Amino acid sequence: MSDIVPNEGVVLQGLLNKVILYRFTRNLDKELAERKISHAQLSGSTGRNSNWFNRSFNELEDMRISTFIKSITVINKIISGNEKFKPVEVGNVLDDELFKAASVSIDLSLNDDVEHLLRNDTDIRKFFVGIQFYVDALEGKLSGEEKQAYERILVRINEEGS
């Protein structure tokens, strides 16, 4: 009998949303750090309070696409004319890891049978093992239900062999 419980897919989608937000904000932060731009400078330059990006970064707030575009534009405006820095490339912020997490989330929404997905998709199994870093980094941000769902997935993968 499976350890997968009803609504497991929905719970895992919530976890993956947090993974996506974590990765996204860290990618954007990396672009800022490489250009020596502070969170406060980005926040103020986008017309927001000086702690806006820092709060988004720490609390994993889901920013709007318009805010994301403004953020990239502001970074590029700040460094404009400084040949030392290259403009931000959207692909550096929205990278393959984000799209893989989104893809798994979509698979879970289309097929709530997590057991079936784990049994039939080796890539999803590898993906769940591979996001352990994010789950650890999100300590305190994940609900008990999300942590338990993830742990059950790992147990299932280990039982069947990855």
The pLDDT value recorded for residue 13 is 96
Could you tell me which residues come within 8 angstroms of residue 53 by beta carbon, excluding any fewer than 6 positions away? 39, 40, 42, 43, 71
pLDDT over 90 (residue 7): no
CB 12 within 8 A of CB 147: no
Taking a C-beta distance cutoff of 8 angstroms, is the pair 153, 118 a contact? Answer: yes
How far apart are alpha carbons 4 and 38 in whole angstroms? 43
Kindly tell me if the per-residue pLDDT of 4 is higher than 60: no
Identify the band that residue 65 occupies on the pLDDT scale cut at 50, 70 and 90: very high
Q: Which residue has the higher pLDDT, 7 or 131?
A: 131
| pLDDT band at residue 91 using 50, 70 and 90 as cut-offs | very high
Residue 1, pLDDT score: 38
Percent pLDDT > 70 in the chain is 95
> Shortest CA distance to 160 belongs to which of 131, 135, 133, 128?
128
| Listed residue (21, 28, 22, 133) closest to 91, CA to CA | 28
pLDDT at 76 over 90: yes
Q: Name the band, by pLDDT with cuts 50, 70 and 90, for residue 6.
A: low
Stretch 17-30: mean pLDDT:
97
CA–CA separation, 28 and 7 (whole Å): 32
pLDDT of residue 160: 78
> At a CB cut-off of 8 Å and minimum separation 6, what does 137 contact?
22
